[in-house]
């Protein structure tokens, strides 16, 4: 008969009903923790050609991101795009690079979000372990899931950092998690957080951000553009709900601000290739507004929870230039929620909502 001996502190199960002893000679087992993994899109490791090439190849090889004939796309990607695009995108990233940490701002901000989330919810339940990852690039989803499991997390909440669900964003985060789990002998139970296009804390944070930013200007915009990342129209035609989620968020923010229709205009940015994407396009709209006599606008990007290339370089840089060249006079970019109080209130609300039944933390 095996002798039962205590397991060292910190290695026994913490959930109700779990055993607190193991047979003699049994190796220590860490269990009973609950992991929370927040995941953003990704960032290259550097702005040089090879760092950019690795990042772009991983991103553009994702079948949810590019839904075209695989043989044709392999040729286009490897022979054409990856021969040219890394240099151009590297220059773009260099304009926003966090030189102090030698990393992209998305990595800096996502790390801070994880640290602040730990400070907010960690004291509420000592089983909670918060971590962060990038869908493309480093740290990878697989590496952080493994790290959480090794810390004793037998339950895992995966939080794709996209308020509005799309197959090319939220779903591909889940793909990466499932791919990692397929290779694990002992895998944690997985939950995937639902999107939050109408989360009250999120709508409140966006409205407050707009109000605060506009109050700091010595001029008033004639309208505010809510620019969301675009997707090919074909994806929408196949049933992707992203378009509807974007419009719902914008409507709720406009109603919270008490603005009339037309004061907050939805557009879509960052199109790629020759196919039609969701319209109206942000750059074309901004140009047309300036040409029609609109002199003052502000732009917010509600679909991004952290500033990145698409917000700092594309909107605050490129689109501001388009507006001014077309006759506009005043352009103001409203930063993402990032790790601000409103941004963290949003993430905290989402995580607490999704942890119900696992950890009752409010």
Using a CB cutoff of 8 Å and minimum separation of 24, what contacts does 282-286 make? Answer: 282/225, 282/227, 282/315, 282/319, 283/318, 283/319, 283/322, 285/225, 286/225, 286/319, 286/322, 286/323, 286/326, 286/328
What dotted CATH number matches 200-334? 3.40.50.1400
Q: Which of 5-14, 101-110, 146-155, 255-264 has the lowest mean pLDDT?
A: 5-14
Rounded Cα–Cα distance for residues 160 and 186 (Å): 23
Query: Can you give the pLDDT at residue 16?
Result: 41
Q: Which two tokens stand for residue 120?
A: 């907010």
Q: Which two tokens stand for residue 21?
A: 């002893």
- Domains 33-195+345-354 and 200-334 belong to one CATH topology: yes
Query: Can you give the pLDDT at residue 336?
Result: 98
- CB contact at 8 A, 59 and 136: yes
Does the annotation flag 314 for ligand binding? no
Assigned fold of 33-195+345-354: Rossmann fold (3.40.50)
**Buried b / exposed e along 212-229 (16+ C-beta atoms within 10 A):** ebbeeeeeebeebbbbbb
Per domain, the residue ranges of the chain are 33-195+345-354, 200-334
Q: Which of 14-28, 53-67, 245-259 has the lowest mean pLDDT?
A: 14-28
Does the annotation flag 103 for ligand binding? no
Q: Which two tokens stand for residue 209?
A: 């951000």
Q: Which two tokens stand for residue 311?
A: 């917000």
CA separation, residue 334 to residues 20, 78, 149, 245, 340 (Å): 52, 36, 38, 20, 13
Rounded Cα–Cα distance for residues 265 and 83 (Å): 37
Residue percentage of the chain with pLDDT more than 90: 89
């Amino acid at each position: 008969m095996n002798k039962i001996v205590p397991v060292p502190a910190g290695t026994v199960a913490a959930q109700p009903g779990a055993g607190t002893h193991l047979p003699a000679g049994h190796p220590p087992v860490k269990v009973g923790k609950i992991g929370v993994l927040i995941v953003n899109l990704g960032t290259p490791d550097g702005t040089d050609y090879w760092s950019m090439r690795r990042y772009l190849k991983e991103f553009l090889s994702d079948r949810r991101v590019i839904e075209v004939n695989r043989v044709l796309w392999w040729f286009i990607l490897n022979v054409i795009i990856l021969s040219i695009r890394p240099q151009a995108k590297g220059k773009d990233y260099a304009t926003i690079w966090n030189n102090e940490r030698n990393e992209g701002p998305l990595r800096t901000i996502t790390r801070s979000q994880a640290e602040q989330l730990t400070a907010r919810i960690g004291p509420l339940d000592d089983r909670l372990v918060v971590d962060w990852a990038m869908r493309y690039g480093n740290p990878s989803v697989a590496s952080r899931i493994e790290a959480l499991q090794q810390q004793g997390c037998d339950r895992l909440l995966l939080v794709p950092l996209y308020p509005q669900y799309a197959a090319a964003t939220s779903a591909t985060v889940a793909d990466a998690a499932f791919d990692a789990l397929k290779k694990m002998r002992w895998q944690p139970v997985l939950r995937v957080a639902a999107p939050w296009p109408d989360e009250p804390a999120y709508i409140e944070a966006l409205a407050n951000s707009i109000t605060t930013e506009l109050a700091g200007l010595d001029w008033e915009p004639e309208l505010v553009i809510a620019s969301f990342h675009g997707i090919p129209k074909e994806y929408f035609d196949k049933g992707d709900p992203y378009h509807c989620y974007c419009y719902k968020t914008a409507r709720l923010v406009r109603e919270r601000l008490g603005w009339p229709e037309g004061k907050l205009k939805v557009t879509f940015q960052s199109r790629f290739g020759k196919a039609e994407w969701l319209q109206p396009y942000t750059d074309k709209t901004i140009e047309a507004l300036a040409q029609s006599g609109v002199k003052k606008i502000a732009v917010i990007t509600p679909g991004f929870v952290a500033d990145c290339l698409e917000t700092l370089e594309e909107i605050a840089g490129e689109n501001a230039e388009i507006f001014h060249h077309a006759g506009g006079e005043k352009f103001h970019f409203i930063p993402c929620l990032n790790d601000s109080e409103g941004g963290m209130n949003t993430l905290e609300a989402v995580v607490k909502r999704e942890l119900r039944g696992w950890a009752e933390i409010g």
